[in-house]
Structure 1
Amino acid sequence: MKRKAMGLTAIFAIPVILYLLFSFIAEGFGVHSLPIVLSQCAIPLLIGFGIFITMQAGMFDFSVGVRVVFAALLGASLEPVFGAVGILVGSIAGGVIGGVVIGLLYRYLKVPSMVIALGFVLVFEVIGAKIAGVSGFLKVSLKAAKIGSYPTNLVIALVACVLLYIIVYKSKIGTQIKAVGNDEKLAMNVGLNTDHIKFMSWVISGVFCGLGGILQACYSLSVTAQIGLVTMNMIFKPLIGVLIGVQLVRMWDNLPVLIFVGELIVSIIFNGFIALGLSDVEQNIVLGIFLIVVMAFSSANIVQRRKSYGD
């Protein structure tokens, strides 16, 4: 119990210390920045959940960004007719459709997930551009956008955290996804349908993409179609948050909360950089270095765990 309490204290101390640090060194960053930091953490959190589910199944997914944008565009396209309900239903439907399509492609084409994701991004960016029309973007009314604006976006993020917790820790499919990710051959030997389980991980990922699409549609009252693999840029900050959360699991095994802490850390750091006046180029340099460092720690821990399993 004492060890768990110390772990929890250390986990939540990290974002608090970072927040206080930037409040001290960056003019314009302080208590008033908290709603901005939390709001800018919500979309990456949902993208991170989508990334995590497929990672848990042993795959890596570049398509989460385009699936979120596609979901947002579909929701925004229904908003003029159905209002906020159109955003809600359209975005979730778009997220699930994207998950089903890429899941079926992966299941039946037997192509590596990164290759499938790359092709999927190229195709769905074009489909998104067609939905957006000649203007290249769709507007959302201020009234309808309240469904995904602050503080409602934090409620949606909380619902997503609870949903991920149930899937990972309380559901049969969550246990099966983890088993496949740990050792697919062993999972097949004990009778698990690994193809179906991986397909379901794409579909579940699509649900989180749909929730992210709601927030994306409401964030700036418009959704812009992206082409030329631009949507792939959306995954890097969320990926860092996921990797941080996975590293912290040794202190406390509650992945939804830990991924939230990871995304919160990333949000604080980059909002702090903006307050310090760092340019986009300088922020991207820091992002790249940060990603390499976190990936290095993550890879080292994976190798260590595999060695322990071998022993």
Structure 2
Amino acid sequence: MKIKKLIFDIAKSLVLPGFVYLIFLIILPQAFGSVKSLYVIFLQTIIPSVMGWGLCFILTSNMWDFSIGAEMVLVAIISAYLGIEYGVVVLFIAAIVLGLAFHLITGLVYYFLQIPTIVTTIAMALVYEATGALFKGGGGFTLPSDKTFLGNPPYNIILGVICVVIAYFLYNKTRFGFHVRAIGNGENLVKHIGINVKKVRFFCFLTCGFFVGIAAVLQLCYGGSMVPMQNLASMSIVFKPMMGVFIGMTLSKFCNPIFGVFIGELTMSIVTLGMVASGLPATVQNIIIGVFLIIFLIVNNNKDDFVELKKRANIKGKLAEKAN
């Protein structure tokens, strides 16, 4: 019975990406009607999934982080410079260290000042963008082709698998992960049982920093170069991973949230490829994703009210039947 339930839950979790893919297959068969297109979608899901697994800890603990895009760009720029000078090993290590260091700074700002995270992270995004624009003249860097292999199969797939294993272990098998989930279920309640909410959230920032560092390596090696972004342009990088996490949280009734994040990012990758294949410009794509994000937040934040309205409607319906 457990195996049947597991299979049924997996099938239900895959309904959303399957349905979205089917729609685009009907509309754009030339872009979606091959095995190669599925493979491309899978590869394009890896980077936002890595970022999403980091964001999962932040969002589950009822925080926001709009700085991860700017941080990823800054980490990639500095790591590219070090990689050109000292090699891929230094690039990889530097990216992880820098991801941890920058998110350590963000976490400390939040920990000591207790400014709402939406304000804190947007402010830090501006700082990271400005730092990237000032680093070595602000021109960005391009990696030699022999140093970009980490962004291509099978290395990007291996890094993705390593990240999902780490995320799953931290989220499900550690005291830290239990505390994160507990905070998400009720901050006031966990304070009464001795959980230090500020401390747990600080470590959520550190955990996210690790995954941002890995994502920076994958993005840098996939694209081969990285240039600074300014005026909060890096915010566009945040939306896709964030949407994937929200979808993953919604699917948590059917599967583990960590796997749900991947399914959510897979869905977003299908949507993104569909918009690109349709010829929509990047600005319009961001508008569409932003609208979807707002709609999803409205539904997600008011789901209890929707359930209550449904119950009231059912009660009214039964009363009307009895009256007749």
Aligned ranges 1:115-154 → 2 under 5 Å: 115-131=119-135, 133-134=136-137, 136-154=139-157
Contact 1:71 1:91 in 2 (8 A): yes
Q: 1:107 aligns with which of 97, 102, 111?
A: 111
Q: 2:72 aligns with which of 68, 78, 87?
A: 68
Kindly name which structure, 1 or 2, has the bigger radius of gyration based on alpha carbons: 2
SS of 1:61 mapped into structure 2: coil
TM-score, normalised to structure 2, is 0.87
Q: 2:48 aligns with which of 36, 39, 44?
A: 44
SS of 1:234 mapped into structure 2: helix
Q: Deviations over 1:69-122 (max 9, x none)?
A: 122122112102321112211110111011110111100112111111121111
Q: Deviations over 1:164-191 (max 9, x none)?
A: 1101100011111222232222222222
Matched, 1:80 2:87: no
Contact 1:44 1:238 in 2 (8 A): yes
Matched, 1:295 2:297: yes
Matched, 1:171 2:174: yes
SS of 2:14 mapped into structure 1: helix
Which amino acid letter does the alignment assign opposite residue 270 of structure 1? T
Question: How far off its partner does 1:305 sit?
Answer: 9.5
Contact 1:50 1:64 in 2 (8 A): no
Question: How far off its partner does 1:281 sit?
Answer: 4.1
Measured in 2, the distance between the counterparts of 1:118 and 1:292 equals: 18
SS of 1:228 mapped into structure 2: coil
Measured in 2, the distance between the counterparts of 1:28 and 1:250 equals: 32
Report what 2:10 is aligned to. Answer: 8
Measured in 2, the distance between the counterparts of 1:278 and 1:296 equals: 26
Change (3 A) 1:34 1:156: same
Contact 1:87 1:217 in 2 (8 A): no
Matched, 1:198 2:229: no
Measured in 2, the distance between the counterparts of 1:207 and 1:305 equals: 37
Question: How far off its partner does 1:192 sit?
Answer: 1.8
Report what 2:264 is aligned to. Answer: 262
Q: Give the fraction of aligned pairs with identical amino acids, expressed as a percent.
A: 30
Measured in 2, the distance between the counterparts of 1:56 and 1:18 equals: 26
Contact 2:138 2:228 in 1 (8 A): no
Aligned ranges 1:235-246 → 2 under 5 Å: 235-246=238-249
Measured in 1, the distance between the counterparts of 2:9 and 2:112 equals: 43
Question: How far off its partner does 1:291 sit?
Answer: 1.5
Q: Deviations over 1:233-267 (max 9, x none)?
A: 11111111111111111122x11211101100110
Which amino acid letter does the alignment assign opposite residue 188 of structure 2? K
Change (3 A) 1:122 1:289: closer
SS of 2:137 mapped into structure 1: coil
Structure 2: segments with no counterpart, 5+ residues: 309-324
Aligned ranges 1:247-286 → 2 under 5 Å: 247-252=250-255, 254-286=256-288
Change (3 A) 1:232 1:284: closer
Question: How far off its partner does 1:304 sit?
Answer: 7.5
Measured in 2, the distance between the counterparts of 1:21 and 1:118 equals: 35
Higher mean displacement: 91-100 or 177-186: 177-186
Measured in 2, the distance between the counterparts of 1:180 and 1:13 equals: 30
SS of 2:78 mapped into structure 1: helix
SS of 1:278 mapped into structure 2: coil
Question: How far off its partner does 1:276 sit?
Answer: 2.3
How many residue pairs get aligned? The number is: 304
Higher mean displacement: 24-33 or 191-200: 24-33
Question: How far off its partner does 1:278 sit?
Answer: 2.6
Which amino acid letter does the alignment assign opposite residue 86 of structure 2? F
Measured in 1, the distance between the counterparts of 2:304 and 2:173 equals: 24
Change (3 A) 1:244 1:176: same
Report what 2:313 is aligned to. Answer: none
Contact 1:47 1:65 in 2 (8 A): no
Measured in 2, the distance between the counterparts of 1:200 and 1:104 equals: 10
Which amino acid letter does the alignment assign opposite residue 208 of structure 1? F
Contact 1:58 1:182 in 2 (8 A): no
Contact 1:69 1:128 in 2 (8 A): yes
Question: How far off its partner does 1:302 sit?
Answer: 5.8
Structural RMSD (CA): 2.0
Which amino acid letter does the alignment assign opposite residue 108 of structure 2? L
